[in-house]
Amino acid sequence: MAVQMCNPAIRWEGLSTDVKPTPAVTLPIPIGSMFYETDTHYHYMWNGVAWTGPVYWLEFIQPFNEYEHGY
């Protein structure tokens, strides 16, 4: 398999009580897109069918770490 550039993932934010985006309601959601719950600080990842998670990341690769913790 050759190296391929992946589609950029989309980042969504909302409360844990909000309805997460779905392809039926929004534009297509690329696999790997993230939903960040601002009240629980949990991340969910879109797998092409549903939001899975919460998912956990190591700090050095987590792109939202500074935003979440106010550094």
- Give the tokens for residue 27: 């534009």
| pLDDT score for 17 | 94
Q: State pLDDT tens for residues 11-33.
A: 888 999 999 988 887 678 888 88
| 60 vs 42, more confident | 42
List the domain boundaries for the chain: 30-71
Distance CA 33, CA 44 (A): 8
Distance CA 11, CA 46 (A): 10
Burial degree of 35 (CB within 10 A; 0-12, 13-18, 19+): buried
pTM, rounded to two decimals: 0.66
- Determine the average pLDDT of the residues in 5-11: 66
